Chain A
Amino acid sequence: DADVTQTPRNRITKTGKRIMLECSQTKGHDRMYWYRQDPGLGLRLIYYSFDVKDINKGEISDGYSVSRQAQAKFSLSLESAIPNQTALYFCATSDPASGRAYEQYFGPGTRLTVT
């Protein structure tokens, strides 16, 4: 079984709809991240969480919100989806207790299309 899972893997939604992307991990890592990937732009950080009570904005947080329900779960919400939020979304984790907080492990991604 994959250590970092994302649901759904693909989603098509309409402009103005609320949508939630979910991420779960079995690695026991404290830190979790949400990125979006756009062609020609690489990956950009949306939000990150160092533990359940610590959530921080990344470079492109506008239009997004997150919830860290437990150590293992980190959800990304689009309150009112717009077409330019069409992208591939990745969740990642890292483990500062290992001394390698910089080493991130990625989920398989969620392809979101907003029409």
Chain B
Amino acid sequence: AQSVTQLDSQVPVFEEAPVELRCNYSSSVSVYLFWYVQYPNQGLQLLLKYLSGSTLVKGINGFEAEFNKSQTSFHLRKPSVHISDTAEYFCAVSEDTGTASKLTFGTGTRLQVTL
């Protein structure tokens, strides 16, 4: 069975500072990896995804993530955050079984950006 661990429940950061949100996963087969963002009082929006190929993937709003198979990690980064990035971020994994579409989510990391 697959699982996802987001070790940081909250990450406070000042505006224009860099940020990294950590995600580790566990699976016995190949996986697809995702980051979703949830702005206050809204549903989830796909930020970026790793399917195959380049291990560095770029998403919306200047975010990027790097897939590291040996460390089973998929950390999310942004070099300079903005107040509007304040949201909850969820890492998710789906096993590559051909018809896979079930997602397993981490517990979320709340990013709080302040001036």
Contacts and interface: CB of A to CB of B under 8 A. Distances in A.
Chain A interface size range? 20 to 34
Most central of B32, B42, B44, B100 by chain A CB within 10 Å: B44
B44 A106 contact: yes
A94 B49 CA distance: 15
Interface string B40-51: 001111100101
A103 interface: yes
Nearest to B36: A106
A101 B43 contact: no
B26 interface: no
Given A102-B32, A103-B49, A104-B101, A42 B107 contact: yes
A42 B43 CA distance: 13
A31 B6 CA distance: 27
B101 A31 contact: yes
Interface in B47-68: 49, 51
Most central of B34, B90, B102 by chain A CB within 10 Å: B102
Interface string A13-43: 0000000000000000001000100001111
Interface of B: 6, 9, 32, 34, 36, 42-46, 49, 51, 90, 94, 99-108
